[in-house]
Structure 1
Amino acid sequence: MEERLVKFESEFSIDCVIFGFEAGELKVLLIERNDEPFEGWLALPGNLVKNDEGIEEAAGRILHELTGLDDLHMEQFHTFGDVNRHPRGRIITVAYYALIRIDAQKELIPGQLARKAFWHTVTDLPKLAFDHSEIFRTGFNKLRRRLSYQPIAYELLPEKFTLTQLQQLYEAILNKKLDKRNFRKKMLSYGFLKELDEKQKNVSFRAAKLYKFDRRKYSKIFQNELGVDM
């Protein structure tokens, strides 16, 4: 007797926590929803996964459809599956996050399900739709933990930056003031910041030196610490 496989509708969704840094402030990408449930609410970019696509493929599609951004390197960081997290019923969401340079991105273009897409500072976020406030907090805590053991801050900064910008970013992520002298001494002691023969341009104050993150040097230092032959 031939067995027939029953196809189920997808009960998975994707939600994206995209961090950026601009004008000394850490920001997260939000949309204003244009559809029920939670029409008019602010939310993270997210939607249901189609039956004929994989999770990774869906993450890229959903972010692009809602914000216009594409080709981002996103990583899964958590799965949320509370029974009552969605008005439609039991829908599990896989959360992704990414760190990007806002100045290197094209204009945000909201899709049909979003009235607008925009950057919002992380310090005064309103209550978000669904359980997106919890998803954001979980992603933000993930960012803070990674900052303690990986040089991820440089993924948010312009290619050339000042030590002041670097400190502002650390303070924004850690939500605390850092001693300027100790911070600079510590950052420079790592050995993977390259001082450039350039200074800031078009500023009304004293121009500061510019630096670059030397990814190759960081990789060499990291591999040597692990005892890996080059």
Structure 2
Amino acid sequence: MTRPDSSIQVAVSTVIFALRPDHNDLPALWTPFIARTRDPHLGRWALPGGWLSEHEQLEEVAARTLGETTGLHPSYLEQLYTFGDLHRSPTGRVISVVYWALVRADEVESAEPGENVQWFHADHLPDLAFDHNHIVDYALQRLRTKMEYADIAHSFLGETFTIAQLRAVHEAVLGQKLDAANFRRSVATSPDLVDTGEVLAGTPHRPPKLYRFTHNPER
């Protein structure tokens, strides 16, 4: 059996998605990046992450580096994929185990990020370091695919929400407008959606009903 190459390094990175207003004040998907302070790719934006040490679990590295850089502490981290192309780093063989998480806008607002953090619209990214554009594209495709069969909108919403707010989440993730009547009919049959019997206060017209999910759905 061939001995493992000790020069191979393992990194852990995380793609965070959050709904934040765009320039039209409409909900849109955004993700944070960290400005690199050293070569390679000095000054380029990169996903938050760090090296895997001998004494930490993969998810511990993801959670720690997110907290240190973005100030975010997501309650749920899911392993997305492992990226190990031979030439993804100019300094040698680097394998990246990538996690992803979905956070609410209020969690973003209450976070205390480092000074070299910037959020970008997920569909309009700059030229990122390494293969991080490819990683985010993969995560975005995965998110949009899962949106079709899993109630992951729960991660972007509060405990209660209107059908219009739920539709806005779907539109932001999918990147397209949805017919309001068709959407309402499609979610009305969902066994995971419950009418709370309450309405949204403070609206100028007939107050819309508030709903909740029966549980925290599987992503």
TM-score range, shorter chain: 0.7 to 0.9
Q: Aligned residue for 1:17?
A: 15
2:123 maps to 123
Q: Does 1:196 align with 2:199?
A: no
Q: Read off the aligned partner of 1:175 and give its amino acid letter.
A: G
2:79 to 73, 76, 79: 76
Aligned to 1:107: 111
Whole-Å Cα distance in 2 between the matches of residues 25 and 42 of structure 1?
Answer: 20
Q: Could you report, residue by residue, the CA deviation over 1:156-180 in whole angstroms, capped at 9, with x for unpaired residues?
A: 1122222112112112222222111
Shift of 1:108: 3.1
Q: Residue 152 of structure 1 aligns with which residue?
A: 152
Compared CA separation, residues 26 and 62, structure 1 to 2 (3 A): same
Q: Specify the code of the residue in structure 1 equivalent to 2:176.
A: K
Going from structure 1 to structure 2, the CA distance change for 1:66 and 1:205 (only over 3 Å counts) comes to farther
Q: Percent same amino acid at aligned positions? A: 36
| SS state at 1:215 partner | coil
The code of the aligned residue for 1:12 comes to V
Amino acid of the residue matched to residue 199 of structure 1? Answer: V
Which residue in the other structure is 1:173 paired with? 173
Gaps of 5+ in 2: 22-26
In the superposition, relative to structure 1, how do residues 6 and 171 fare at CA in structure 2: closer, same or farther (>3 Å)?
closer
The answer as to 2:29 corresponding to 1:26 is yes
Q: Which runs of 5 or more residues in structure 1 are unaligned?
A: 220-230
Deviations 1:19-46 (A, max 9, x none): 1113411222222223332222222112
Q: For 1:55 and 1:71, how far apart are their aligned partners in 2?
A: 15
Q: For the residues of structure 1 that align with 2:181 and 2:82, how far apart are their CA atoms?
A: 40
SS in 1 for 2:99: strand
Give how far 1:154 is off: 1.0
Matched, 1:87 2:94: no
Shift of 1:182: 0.7
Verify the 8 A CA contact 1:108 1:118 in the aligned structure 2: no
Number of residue pairs aligned between Structure 1 and Structure 2: 210
Q: Which has a greater percent of helix?
A: 1
Shift, 1:54, TM fit: 2.7
Query: 1: CA distance between counterparts of 2:13 and 2:206?
Result: 42
Distance across 2 between alignment mates of 1:134 and 1:38 = 16
Structure 1 residues 34 and 203, CA, compared in 2 at 3 Å: closer, same or farther? Answer: farther
Which stretch has the larger CA shift, 86-95 or 40-49? 40-49
Residue 212 (str. 1) matches residue 205 (str. 2): no
How far apart are residue 107 of structure 1 and its match?
1.8
- Please give the TM-score of this superposition, normalised by the length of structure 1: 0.80
Of 56, 61, 74, 2:64 maps to 61
